[in-house]
Amino acid sequence: MSEITIHHYIALSAIIFSIGVAGVLTRKNAIILFMSIELMLNSSNLALIAFASFMSNPVGQIFALFVIAVAAAEVGVGLAIIVTVYRNRNSINIDDVHLMKG
């Protein structure tokens, strides 16, 4: 490896995103599922900032800032939904939440 280029950052971002996908697909605990979604949002942020840095264009950073704000709102509402589900069904295993299964 000679120099750190855009490839390295994008590859790192892709790896972390795939780890997040694996977490969403394999785990049943709703809170760990949420954490995996956070991993994916973070990897996309990393890609945005890497693009911004290598294009000398700071707009990517603005996007990343908005993504962070959206993630905060999403986590607040999502965890509220999990707590409500837990209150009604006494479980946060996503296999137990199947009332809308046809």
22 part of the interface to another protein, by CB under 8 A:
yes
Using CB under 8 A, pick the residue from 37, 44, 71, 97 that binds another protein.
71
Task: Give the shortest CB-97-to-another protein separation in angstroms.
Answer: 13
- DSSP, res 29: B
100 part of the interface to another protein, by CB under 8 A:
no
* Count of residues of this chain found to bind another protein when the rule CB under 8 A is applied: 74
d(CA 63, CA 48) in angstroms, rounded, equals 7
Residue 100: Cβ within 10 Å count: 5
Q: To 10 degrees, what angle do helices 6-26 and 30-55 make? A: 170
Strand partners, 29: 93
Question: Nearer Cβ to another protein, position 62 or 98?
Answer: 62
Task: Give the shortest CB-102-to-another protein separation in angstroms.
Answer: 20
